[in-house]
Structures are given as structure tokens and as C-alpha cells.
Structure 1
Amino acid sequence: MPPVERLSRAEVRSVDQRTIEEFGLPGIALMENAGKGTFDLLLTLKVTGPVKICAGKGNNGGDGFVIARHLDNAGIPVQIFLLADPQQLTGDAAINYQVASRMGISIQADPDLSDPDAFRTFLSDGDWIIDAFLGTGVQGTIRSPFTTAIQIVNEAPGNKLAVDLPSGLDCDTGLPLGDCIIAALTATFVAEKKGFAVPESKQFTGTIHVVDIGAPRQIITDLLQKQSS
């Protein structure tokens, strides 16, 4: 697949939309590929666990559930902390939550982070902490409970890996929207994001690894043509 230099928020949305609507590849397949690709990256890092998945209610959280499934299947200890009401999950994220739950993976849900000390305890023995709170669509100032959750993650001793981009980082500007995850690694999907070109973003993304999620080559070719025109 030809490389795309970087994707804006709108381009990220268009890749997903065209893949699903024009080519008929279901969104859940893209989520599976994203999660499996991130899991494969963790394997190259010789991760043995425990791994702590920090999930939100959107597709970023859904990616986290997929990562958790594959870790569990590989015999790597994994637990999930969900900063949302499970009943509010929808679509592909809800499906992957249900699968992870039925597999017996430990999932703690605290939608309002009413017990921050419990979240600190959850993270305290994590070798790796996976940030799957917020995705590329986030705009505006980060608000509670994510502000507190992000601060607690940054204070935790484990290595941090961000899913697609660090929670709290603006996809297009590369600048934090208030509190922002400080990751050692970022597993970003399809291509680097537009904001990653900004030098200030590096302190939050750490090392960036691009993960292929199976979007058709034609979509990427079209983006290349638009970017070069």
C-alpha cells in the first residue's frame, strides 16, 4: 500500500466511511484489525503483563477490548478499566465489550471515576498501560472525568502505549486539549496523524508505529492524489 504522509481528522473519518460504505468491509473488521495489529506490536515488545487496558465508550475503547481479547488468548494477564457505563456502549464497541466480558476478562466500570483511588490501585501493578480512552474525533477541552483519569495514568509507573493517538491530543494541531496522556509508544492506524508533524506532539506520542487495518488501497491512492494536488 502506498504511504500516506499524514491524515487529518476528516480524512480519518473518510477512510473508515468509504471502507464501510463503498467497499462493504464492516467496521467491526477494521476494529479487529486495529486491535490485532496493536496486540502484534505488543508481542514484538516481549510484553508479559500484567497489561491494563483503559477504555472509553467509543471505538477507541472498542479497539482496547480487541487488544484485551488477544492478550487473554495468548495467556498474557490483562484487565480492563472502563470509563463509561457498559449499557451506553453501542455498535462495534458494544460487541467487543460483550465478547471480552463473556471470555471472563476482568472489567471494572466507573463511568464518573467516583473512586479514583481504585483506579490508581488498578494501574499500580501494570507492566504496560494501554490508553484507549479517546480517539481522533475529540475536539474542545478535555473534561472530567477524563482529566482526572489522564492525570492518574500519567502518574502510574507502567509503560504507556496510546491507541491511535494519546487521549487528549488534538488530531489536527498536535497540541494537547488540556490534560493529555504521555505515552512511550503510539500505535496509530493507517497513517500518522496530521498533528504528529508538530514537534510539540512528540512528548505525548513517544515512538510512533503505523498499524495497517486493511483499508482498501484505492482509498489511500485517492488521498495521496488529493494531498499532492
Structure 2
Amino acid sequence: MPPVSRLSRDEVRSVDQRTIEEFGLPGIALMENAGRGVFELLVSLKATGPVKICVGKGNNGGDGFVIARHLDNAGIPVEIYLLADPTELKGDAAINFHVAQCMEIDMQFDPVLNQPEAFRDFLNSADWIVDALLGTGVQGTIREPYSTAISIMNQAPGFKLAVDLPSGLDCDTGLPRGECVFAHQTATFVAEKKGFANPDSRQYTGTIHVLQIGAPRKIVQDLLQKQDSGGN
């Protein structure tokens, strides 16, 4: 894969859209590759568990379910905390939620964080905390229950790994939109995000690992050419 300096929010969306619509690679395959890549990164970081995965209702959360499945298959203790109503899950995220349920992976549900102290207790015993709450598409100020959840996550003692980018960080500016996860490691997909060019973002991302998820090289090359021609 040729190096791409960084991708904007719109470019991230276009990579997924073109991969699915033009090349016919299903979104669930991209989600599987993303989740397995994060699992392999956790193993390389000597994560022995318990791993606590904080999940939202979008595709970022879907990645979290995949990560949990691979950890469970590897015999690494894992638990999920879902900050969403399971009935609101859609598409690929809903499929992977169902698989995790069928595997009887320990999962707690608190869509509006009615029990913040239970969430705090859930996190306090973690070796690693995986942030799979919010993805690159987030715009506007971070609202509840995510604002409180992020604050509690930051207070927890475990190592923190963000999926794609820390929840609360703006993809394009690298600035927080209110509360923002302070991650020790960030597993970002396809390429770094545009906001990572902002030096201030590093206090939130920690060490950045770029993981490939199977998006065709041609799509990334096209974006590079647009960037070089000033079309970004």
C-alpha cells in the first residue's frame, strides 16, 4: 500500500463507499479485517486480559464486537459494555453483536449510562480498555451518555486502545469536541487521519498504528493523486 499522508473525514467515507459499491467487497469483510487487526495488535502488545471493550451503536462499535470474538476465541478474558440499545444496532454492527451474543461473551447494556458507578467498576479491573464508542464521522459537541462515559474511561487505570481514533477527537482538526479519550495506543485504519497532523492530537492518540483492512490500493492511490493536485 503506497503511503497516504492522512485522510479527511470525507476521504475515509469515500474509501469505504467505493470499496463496497465499486469493488463489491462487503462492508462486513472490512469490519472483520479491522477487528481482527486490532485483536492482533492487542496480542502483540501483550494484552492478557481482562480486556474491557466499550461499544457504541455505529460501525466503530461493530469493530468492537469483532475484537471481542477474536479475543474470546484466543482464550483472553473479554467483556463488553454497550452504551446503546441493542435494537438500534444496524447492518454489519448488528450481525457482529448477534454473533457475540451467541458466543455468550459477557456483555452489559446501559444505553443512557444510568449506572455510571457500575461502568466505573467494570473498567477498574481491566488490563486493557478498548475504546470503540465513536468513529470518524462524529461532528458537534460530544453529548451524553458518551461525555460522562469518556470521563470515566479516562479515570480508569488500565491501558487504553482507541479504535480508528480516540472517541471525542475530531477527525479533521485533531481537536477534542468536548470530552475525549486519552489513549495510550490508537489503531487507525488505511491511513492516519487528517487531524493527526495537529501536534496537540498526540496527547489523545498516543502511539499510532496504521492497520490495513483490505481496501483496494487503487482507491488510496486516487486519493493521493487528488491530494497532490490540490483537490483535497
Which of the five TM-score ranges fits, normalised by the shorter chain? over 0.9
Matched with 1:147 is 147
**CA distance, structure 1, for counterparts of residue 217 and residue 187 of structure 2:** 20
TM-score by length of 1: 1.00
Matched with 1:224 is 224
**CA distance, structure 1, for counterparts of residue 43 and residue 66 of structure 2:** 15
Matched with 2:64 is 64
Say yes or no: does 1:178 pair with 2:184: no
What percent of counterpart residues are identical? Answer: 76
Matched with 1:127 is 127
Correspondences of 1:10-49 after superposition (within 5 Å): 10-49=10-49
**Alignment length (residue pairs):** 229
**CA distance, structure 2, for counterparts of residue 76 and residue 224 of structure 1:** 39
Matched with 1:189 is 189
Shift, 1:46, TM fit: 1.2
Matched with 1:161 is 161
Shift, 1:99, TM fit: 0.2
What RMSD, in angstroms, separates the aligned Cα atoms of the two structures? 0.4
Where do 5+ consecutive residues of structure 2 fail to align? none
- Secondary structure, in 3 states, of the residue corresponding to 1:66? helix
Matched with 2:86 is 86
**CA distance, structure 1, for counterparts of residue 113 and residue 43 of structure 2:** 30
Matched with 1:100 is 100
Shift, 1:70, TM fit: 0.2
Shift, 1:49, TM fit: 0.2
Q: Kindly provide the CA deviation profile for residues 3-49 of structure 1, in whole angstroms up to 9, marking residues without a partner as x.
A: 11100000000000000000000000000000000111011111100
- Secondary structure, in 3 states, of the residue corresponding to 2:62? helix
Shift, 1:79, TM fit: 0.1
Where do 5+ consecutive residues of structure 1 fail to align? none
Shift, 1:117, TM fit: 0.6
**CA distance, structure 1, for counterparts of residue 53 and residue 227 of structure 2:** 35
**CA distance, structure 2, for counterparts of residue 151 and residue 221 of structure 1:** 38
**CA distance, structure 2, for counterparts of residue 206 and residue 47 of structure 1:** 17
Q: Kindly provide the CA deviation profile for residues 144-176 of structure 1, in whole angstroms up to 9, marking residues without a partner as x.
A: 111100000000000000000000000000000
**CA distance, structure 2, for counterparts of residue 191 and residue 161 of structure 1:** 17
Q: Kindly provide the CA deviation profile for residues 81-101 of structure 1, in whole angstroms up to 9, marking residues without a partner as x.
A: 000000110000000000001
Letter in 2 for 1:135: G
Matched with 1:6 is 6
**CA distance, structure 1, for counterparts of residue 110 and residue 73 of structure 2:** 25
Letter in 2 for 1:120: R
Letter in 2 for 1:99: V
- Secondary structure, in 3 states, of the residue corresponding to 1:107? strand
- Secondary structure, in 3 states, of the residue corresponding to 1:129? strand
Q: Which stretches of structure 1, 4 residues or more, deviate above 6 A after TM superposition? A: none
**CA distance, structure 2, for counterparts of residue 198 and residue 118 of structure 1:** 35
Letter in 1 for 2:31: M
